[in-house]
Structure 1
Amino acid sequence: MPSLKNFAITYDDLHNYGIFSEGDTVTGKVTLELEKQTKIESLSVKLKGDVKVHWTEQHGEDSHTYSANRRLFKEKHFLITQETKDTRLPAGVHIFKFSIGIPLGNMPSSFRGGSGKVVYKLEARLCRSWRFDRTDEKEICFRTKAFPNINRMNFQQVGSTNKEVGIFNKGTVQMDVTVDRRGYVPGDSVLINAKINNSSSKDATPKFSFIQDVEYRVKGNTKHDKLVICREYRECVKPQTLKEHTFSLTIPPDTPLSIQNCDILSVEYRIKASLDISFSFNPEIVFPVVLFWDSPHTAGGAIGGPSTSDFPAPVSFVSPYSSATSATSQYPASAAMYAGAPSMCSVPEQINAYGYPFSSSSSASVLHPPPPATLLHPPSSGQAHSQFSSTPPTYNTLEVENDHFAPLPSGVSVPSAPMMTENFLSQTDEEPPSYEILFPSSNGSNPRPK
């Protein structure tokens, strides 16, 4: 009879909407159900991000395959270390909690395309003697907040085109289009205003499309995929007619974000406004746009209003997010974790901190919490005093090294700038004194020679 009945990893939805970003902490548990007492060599949890590109092209009778991989990051924590000897778990259900921090950095958002993908995964691995390793993994949704020039995303875009219709001078068609912004969040509505002046003898039908362009790159070879996310036709403009259209084009909420920070895969978006004219080349205007992520807790969006988000802003751009930690997170991230230090479960030598409270009952559920935060890098008394001193410095003290303050010597005061109460250049209308009055001669009688 096999000793392992169930092995699974689950994670907690951050803020109840299941999206993670830079600096967030992924918490969850590994459930291990045993039919009998089992010797465990190691139990680990790994969080990783990878970019993979792969496609095949046919050139005559030959086919060429192009592939590339990029490892974004990997964080591995041991719940039961390999150094622990004779770790035996009794029959029953054992739950191991974990907490892993996503490192800060400029990483692309999750994406799956026809020839490539950006994937972030949690993986639990159980190693036993004389048994194949047992693994279970879950994919998490990652959306980056690191977009450059995010404050310029609310600028309008204006475009115009003028085209002659027909070969035998049958008139012209002019179209002026305004798009309300440059950047959007999935689920937003794009406000479009179009003015069409049809001075030709043909009908012109306005068409507006939201298009996704994906490019895959491997050693100088590229592959392009184009996908029309949504499209809308407006009322036909008859010959010798001037018409204006104002409407909204809604972006689907599940549309992937733009990817501009990966060397082997990029995702870009554009809005194309065109006129369908029979037997003629269709005039068109193209507006590049960016899809970025805005937390659902942000009031009014990243562009339109103040922020109440629970996410810290990365250094690479001015973000609407604040630095508060969510109360719904079971294991709040510490300052050491954001600085790159190990998280609460990343100290293998402290294996006794887990306790392993084995139960004699075969149906018991044993909870194995992570080690307490006090096991990690406790601050010294001097550091704690300098960082958390409640007595602020006063103006009559002098700052010296090690954040200590010494009083100024007696009789020494802090100088202050003089108060200018009036314009000293206009204090009097009298003429300035003459040279003789200021500098009299040595004998007192001879005036200055002229």
Structure 2
Amino acid sequence: MADKVKVFCIMFNNEDKREYSAGEVLSGHVVVEVSTGVSAQIKAVKISTRGCAQVYWGKGPRQAPSPSSAAIANTSSQCVQEQVEYLCISQTLKETPDGEEFISLDEGRYEFPFHVELTQTPLVTSFKGKYGSVCYEVTAVLQRPLNQDQTVNREFSVISHVDVNSPWLLSSVSTNNEKMIGCWIFTSGPISLNVNINRMGYCNGESIPINAVIENCSSRLIVPKAAIYQIQTFMANGKTKSYTKLVASVRGNHIPSGCTDTWNGKILKIPPVSASILNSSVIRVEYSLAVMAQIPGAKKLKVELPIVIGSIPYNGLDGRSSSLSRHFSMDMSWLALALPEVPEAPPNYADVVSEEEFELHSPSYSQSEELERQLGGQALSYIQEFRFQPPPLYSEVDSHPVHS
């Protein structure tokens, strides 16, 4: 009887592991618990580990997943459906020995361990969207000789790592756009957007510093805004379906007529979202950063910059920076050779004073005679010595201490 098996489930050895990637091992065990006082007859315990992308939209019955790796498509004109398989691994954990019809399990708990090594081929990241999904699951089948087979499923998540430190994701992105407000001879002036971000790749939890110049030469009050959009694209049977979702936004200050607002690294934080999916033939998940100016009574002005949400965080050093630092250190190597061992003294101030300035500050003949009489020598020599000599060198020790 089917009710003799009280528990039939799948347990993973590492229940805390959130995501797996290509080449990793998924391990666990299938649990079968037989009710007290009875025994259960089984023929085999099997598992299959599968992963596939499914796309569906339109009216009509949805087809069940097929184990075939070939893409399928519904021929109904009202329904579009397609499926691509990325992973299919089957294992037999327990089976009836040759010559026997079944295995008898007495009351108690039984665990059948399994180890599945995911393919080394890059897998597509798990995702559930508007018109399709990428799902991975382990299916266990308990085959019974006298009863219908029992089946249980357990999903697990897969991540296809995207390193935001890749050179193509570290390059800056910029764009601009302009819109004239009004019509014919009643135009009031243009509104322009000029936007730049330092790199294209980011991870969940990071913030995007936005650099922008929003110029309002129109006669209207405008409101700038920045937003991150997720663009889901589904492809099936030669057709394409798209869905765009707002995931984060930030609003700027109002810009009056004739004014300009500058964003020097305005922060827009990325919330927890799925990583970009760029390696699937039926589902793509992309992101864009949009900066727009909302204009009362007119269509908003908007520019968009592509961004990629990755899984390996930014390390703070891009290849361009490290290359520049190495180049700079090489270029500065000449400095040690050019510097003298003992620094030269600065030139006398008299060497850089013009003749006109020298004459202007030189004492008259009568003044010179009086000074010479008081000083007991040539006054000019004393004056020029102290006027055009460089200041004394700095020292923390007083060279002329006053003794009490």
The whole-number CA distance in structure 1 between the counterparts of 2:228 and 2:303 is 12
Give yes or no for the alignment of 1:304 onto 2:323: no
For the aligned residue pairs, the C-alpha RMSD in angstroms reads 2.3
The whole-number CA distance in structure 2 between the counterparts of 1:220 and 1:63 is 13
The whole-number CA distance in structure 1 between the counterparts of 2:50 and 2:165 is 28
Deviations 1:264-312 (A, max 9, x none): 2211111111111123332211111111222xxxxxx244369xxxxxx
Q: Work out which of the residue numbers 60, 65, 70 in structure 1 matches 2:84.
A: 70
The equivalent of 1:97 in structure 2 is 113
Describe how 1:48-63 pairs up with structure 2 within 5 A.
48-56=50-58
The whole-number CA distance in structure 2 between the counterparts of 1:209 and 1:152 is 22
SS of alignment partner, residue 156 of structure 2 = strand
Structure 2: runs of 5 or more not aligned: 61-75, 319-404
The whole-number CA distance in structure 2 between the counterparts of 1:238 and 1:129 is 80
Give yes or no for the alignment of 1:38 onto 2:40: yes
Q: What is the identity, as a one-letter code, of the residue corresponding to 1:76?
A: S
Is residue 58–residue 80 contact of structure 2 (8 Å, CA) maintained in 1?
A: yes
Is residue 23–residue 101 contact of structure 1 (8 Å, CA) maintained in 2?
A: yes
The whole-number CA distance in structure 1 between the counterparts of 2:109 and 2:153 is 19
Deviation at residue 63 of structure 1 after TM alignment: 6.4
Deviations 1:377-410 (A, max 9, x none): xxxxxxxxxxxxxxxxxxxxxxxxxxxxxxxxxx
Is residue 165–residue 314 contact of structure 2 (8 Å, CA) maintained in 1?
A: no
SS of alignment partner, residue 152 of structure 1 = helix
Distance 1:250 1:82, change over 3 A: farther
The whole-number CA distance in structure 1 between the counterparts of 2:96 and 2:22 is 30
Describe how 1:194-343 pairs up with structure 2 within 5 A.
194-245=212-263, 246-253=265-272, 255-294=273-312, 301-304=313-316
Is residue 21–residue 123 contact of structure 2 (8 Å, CA) maintained in 1?
A: no
Distance 1:148 1:208, change over 3 A: closer
With CA pairs under 8 Å and 6+ residues apart, which has the higher RCO, 1 or 2?
1
The whole-number CA distance in structure 2 between the counterparts of 1:257 and 1:197 is 34
The whole-number CA distance in structure 2 between the counterparts of 1:303 and 1:154 is 11
The equivalent of 1:182 in structure 2 is 200
Distance 1:149 1:218, change over 3 A: farther
Is residue 13–residue 19 contact of structure 1 (8 Å, CA) maintained in 2?
A: no
Deviation at residue 101 of structure 1 after TM alignment: 1.0
Distance 1:215 1:126, change over 3 A: same
SS of alignment partner, residue 242 of structure 2 = strand
Give yes or no for the alignment of 1:28 onto 2:44: no
Distance 1:93 1:118, change over 3 A: same
The whole-number CA distance in structure 2 between the counterparts of 1:7 and 1:82 is 18
- How many residues of Structure 1 are paired with residues of Structure 2 in the alignment? 295
The equivalent of 1:164 in structure 2 is 180
Deviation at residue 212 of structure 1 after TM alignment: 1.1
Deviation at residue 64 of structure 1 after TM alignment: 0.6
The whole-number CA distance in structure 1 between the counterparts of 2:259 and 2:96 is 79
Is residue 164–residue 170 contact of structure 1 (8 Å, CA) maintained in 2?
A: yes
Q: Please identify the structure whose Cα radius of gyration is greater.
A: 2
TM-score, reference length from structure 2: 0.68
TM-score, reference length from structure 1: 0.62
Structure 1: runs of 5 or more not aligned: 295-300, 307-450
The whole-number CA distance in structure 2 between the counterparts of 1:104 and 1:117 is 22
The whole-number CA distance in structure 1 between the counterparts of 2:90 and 2:163 is 28
Deviation at residue 149 of structure 1 after TM alignment: 8.9
Deviations 1:165-209 (A, max 9, x none): 222231122222112321121222111122112222111211111
Deviations 1:56-104 (A, max 9, x none): 169xxx9611111111111111110355544332211111221111111
Deviation at residue 41 of structure 1 after TM alignment: 0.8
Give yes or no for the alignment of 1:11 onto 2:23: no
**Segments of 4+ in structure 1 off by > 6 A?**
none
Higher helix residue share: 2
Is residue 164–residue 170 contact of structure 2 (8 Å, CA) maintained in 1?
A: no
